[in-house]
Amino acid sequence: MPPRESADVPDVHATTPAEERGTRSLDNPNDSARWLALAETALRQGASDDDVSETEALARKEQGAIKRRIRRTAEKVKRQSKSKQ
């Protein structure tokens, strides 16, 4: 199957508009910096109790964001399903 010749050809299977694709997984720069600092500390000297608690807080924050995205998607699907019935 040949690759697409033009970027102007719309993707008929895409569910996200072209201008929004790839933006949902972008990390918060502040969180990314914290993750990198924690990783460097862990690699250098091992994780302290403070490092572990900060990592846990970051992970819980990230999990919360993921859960919110999943819930929004599930609600959209549910609404679309009801409207097609």
pLDDT at residue 60 greater than cutoff 60 = yes
Phi and psi torsions of 32, nearest 5°:
-60, -45
**In the prediction, which pLDDT does 77 show?**
92
Q: Is residue 54 part of a domain?
A: yes
Q: How far apart are CA 34 and CA 50, in angstroms?
A: 13
Expressed as residue numbers, the domain containing 59 is 50-85
pTM of the model: 0.48
End-to-end CA distance of the chain: 36
Instruction: Tell me how many domains the chain contains.
Output: 1
Q: What is the pLDDT of residues 38-53, one digit of tens each?
A: 778 777 777 778 888 8
Q: DSSP letters of 25-73? A: TPPPHHHHHHHHHHHHHHHHH---HHHHHHHHHHHHHHHHHHHHHHHHH
pLDDT (mean) for 7-34:
63
Determine, yes or no, domain membership for 43. Answer: no
Residue 83 domain flag? yes
Mean pLDDT, the chain, rounded, equals 76
17 domain residue, yes or no: no
Q: Is residue 76 one of the residues assigned to a domain?
A: yes
The better pLDDT of the pair 41, 21 is held by 41
Whether residue 59 lies inside any domain: the answer is: yes
